[in-house]
Structure 1
Amino acid sequence: MTLSTRRRWTSAEIPGQRGRTAVITGANTGIGFETAKLLAEHGATVILACRNADKAAKAATAITASVPDSTVHTLQLDLASLASVRSAAERLRAEHPRLDLLINNAGGVRPRYTVTEDGFESTFATNHLGPFAFTGLILDRLLAVPGSRVVTVSSIGHRRGAIHFEDLHFTRRYRYTHAYFQAKLANLMFTYELHRRLAASGAPTVAVAAHPGNARTEFGREMPLPVRVLMRPRFRMITWWLMQSPQVAALAAVRAAVDPDVRGGEYYGPPGRAQFTGHPARVESSAASHVAAAQLRLWQESERLTGVAYPLSERARVAPS
């Protein structure tokens, strides 16, 4: 269901971003790259936080070639490794005393069961635990800036997800779809719980969620052959109703990050019945994503697994009624 009746939101709506600094994870390609480029075009200093340093450097070069007066930095960040997350956060904190935007865009799904060096199921680690830890480790740099935002990118797939607290890492039975949907539901529950804690502590930072719909990107490069084939640009005349360009898909996270009308705890993405394609509007997430007790339980488990505690007042951690 669409909650916003505003006219179609396009890149023309993006306000000037000069003087603002934005960190975008997974920004070397696809939606993350287009998000970074849009923010750079409007004056923001952008930091491309990516697993592959060479690809990040090439993406930075591409943005500066397209936007000659832009300021683009890179940061090596592997969200599947807590050691990398801590190292990246330490470097970022040393080089940037203040941050205006963090866009947790990076994600992925592994068709085959794999575990990280920390012993976590890879999809859950990359999509949720890594971003949870990274956000917590750099949050104080955002808390110092009025109007700062944490935007976390979820998916329409969250509607089919459930948090398997009894087996978060799918050690008993792994299905990549279940792992991905769980992780994307976790993104929303993290956003809502973070929003509640920020508001309770009186912080100037807000947490917002977004989803891109179905985008034609490299995201499906490890998926089964039929999915990879459908995502190829040559099939866009057939799949136009099912998938959209990364340029349009990126607008959801960008709107969540810069639209002055956005409020903490909101969710933005393509509207309509299926929410596959379209320019972003405020939308509603599943009922499961709003269960306060589950949000709190996931937060506490994420703290335990990552060893990261957020720099917010204790009163913000009281269990919701």
Structure 2
Amino acid sequence: MSKNWTTADIPNLTGKVVIITGGNSGLGFETAKELARKGTHTILACRNMEKAGAAWSAIRAEIPEAKGELMELDLASLASVRRFAASFKAKYKQLDLLVNNAGIGGATYSLTEDGFEKQLGVNHLGHFALTGLLLDMLTATPKARVVNVSSGIYRFGKIDFDDLTFANGKEYTPMKGYSRSKLANMLFTHESQRRLQAAGVDTIAVAAHPGASRTNIEANAPPPDTLSSKLFAGLLSPLRQSAAMGALPTLRAAVDPATKGGDFYGPDGFQEIRGYPVLVQSNAAARDEEDGYRLWETSEQLTGVQYS
């Protein structure tokens, strides 16, 4: 293996079935393209089917032999999540890889169809529900993986279980909402792995973050609203890397044979802002077992999706 992990290190994946949420642009598109190049049957799970169609056409233009399909999924609607899961199960008998990639970063307070603050609703609760509804297929497929795409911004996140979804917009700021949702991704990953391991299955849950990358979510990311986040954003601005580089941590988490449950991949450069993918360390807040358990229980209550 080369010193720097690249797409050249992705093994042959012929016969693998993968779902990538938000696979029509940015990190998701690059992830989908490179997995399709290696032989996967790739499902682009997207809200906007027109954009998804254009993305799939672009993939097929570069990789004529690419196999897969488009399936509609709106993570801001639990009804849509349930429809997607039911449709997928009706068509497929295996699920080797679920990449929970889709995400939003918004500047204003808004709600999902089910009444959740939208950043937490899409970035965490929608993916929590989707993973739970597909869990039986994942655990029935040997060595399946769930990859949750977080962000270095999770380090600024705070979980408030008394007001998890910022009821009525109280105490809400764009950065608080986004960083909370990204911390939730991390807590979900570690709690998932604890439960999968306790259940004795070989499915694993891992996480990745892209550093500072030029994607749609970065372009629409919430403005910094604390001194520390302003300093962080100031550092990022001139250092953003391409979406193709930003997707490498996700790809490595998804396919590296050495990956273990609970692993976290990010760029190897200064402050994990850019570079090639390596194992990085999540902070104590991301690994907090009590918060992970409480978030899981709360997420089951809010979504109505009970994990077996």
Structure 1 counterpart of 2:211, from 204, 210, 213: 213
With the length of structure 1 as denominator, give the TM-score of the two structures: 0.89
Is 1:202–2:206 an aligned residue pair?
no
Once the two structures are superposed, the pairs formed by residues 205-284 of structure 1 within 5 Å of their partners are: 205-223=203-221, 242-284=239-281
2:293 counterpart of 1:296: yes
Other-structure match for 2:118: 122
2:75 matched residue in structure 1: 79
Aligned AA for 1:271?
A: D
Please give the secondary structure, in 1, of the residue aligned with 2:105. coil
For 1:193 and 1:32, the matched residues in 2 are separated by: 24
Alignment of 1:51 onto 2:69: no
SS of match in other structure, 2:43: strand
Residues 29-88 of structure 1 show CA distances to partners (whole Å, capped at 9, x for unaligned) of 000000000001111110000011111111111111111111021110000110111011
For residues 250 and 222 of structure 1, the distance between their equivalents in structure 2, rounded to whole angstroms, comes to 18
Q: 1:224 to 1:255 in 2, by over 3 A?
A: closer
Q: Any conservation in 1 of the 2:19–2:45 contact (CA below 8 Å)?
A: yes
Q: Secondary structure at the match of 1:140?
A: helix
- 1:62 corresponds to: 58
Which residue of the partner structure matches residue 233 of structure 1? none
How many residues were matched structurally? 295
Q: Is the 8 A contact 2:22 2:102 kept in 1?
A: yes
- Offset of residue 156 of structure 1: 0.4
TM-score by length of 2: 0.92
* Match in the other structure for 1:18: 14
2:30 corresponds to which of 24, 34, 46: 34
Whole-angstrom CA distance in 2 between matches of 1:101 and 1:9 = 20
Distance 1:135 1:297 in 2: 18
Are the aligned partners of 1:158 and 1:286 in contact in 2 as well (CA < 8 Å)? Answer: no
Whichever residue aligns with residue 206 of structure 1, its letter is I
Q: CA deviation at 1:225?
A: 9.1
> Over aligned residues, Cα RMSD in angstroms?
1.7
CA distance, structure 2, for counterparts of residue 184 and residue 162 of structure 1: 10
The alignment status of 1:100 with 2:103, answered yes or no, reads no
Percent identity of equivalent pairs = 49
- 1:239 and 1:133, CA in 2 relative to 1: closer, same or farther beyond 3 A? closer
Note closer, same or farther for the CA distance 1:212–1:135 as it changes in structure 2 (3 Å cut): same
Partner SS for 1:204? coil
- Structure 1 residue 241: Cα displacement: 5.4
In the aligned structure 2, how far is the partner of 1:223 from the partner of 1:261? 33
Runs of 5+ in structure 1 lacking a partner? 1-5, 227-237, 312-321
Q: Secondary structure of 1:49's partner?
A: strand
Partner of 1:190: 188
Change (3 A) 1:250 1:185: same
8 Å CA contact 1:50–1:74 kept in 2: the answer is yes
- Partner Cα separation in structure 2 for residue 224 and residue 173 of structure 1: 15
